[in-house]
Amino acid sequence: MSCPICGKPPAEDYRPFCSRRCADLDLARWLRGDYRIPGEPAGGTHDAAFPEPRDPDEDDR
């Protein structure tokens, strides 16, 4: 198996990468969102796990 970034043989300390540089490049790709699974967008405009914050000035009556 070779480094997924540059194709060199992997280094034991950074497996499966050959160096810290290649490991950091891969991390940057994850953080930018370069690795995505294609598909339909999720429905709705809000995430149910994170509801919109309530306005404390709203009256609940």
Query: Annotated binding site, which residues?
Result: 3, 6, 18, 22
In a domain, 45, yes or no: no
Tokens 């598909």 correspond to 39
Residue 61 has pLDDT above 60, yes or no: no
Q: Check residue 18 and report its DSSP letter.
A: S
In a domain, 46, yes or no: no
Q: What is the pLDDT of residues 17-29, one digit of tens each?
A: 999 999 999 999 9
The pLDDT, as a whole number, for residue 45 is 59
Q: What is the pLDDT of residues 27-57, one digit of tens each?
A: 999 999 998 888 887 666 556 667 777 777 7
Mean pLDDT of 9-16: 96
Query: Annotated binding site for Zn(2+), which residues?
Result: 3, 6, 18, 22
Torsion of CA 14, 15, 18, 23, to 10 degrees: -60
Provide the domain count of the chain.
1
In a domain, 55, yes or no: no
Q: Domain of 20?
A: 1-36
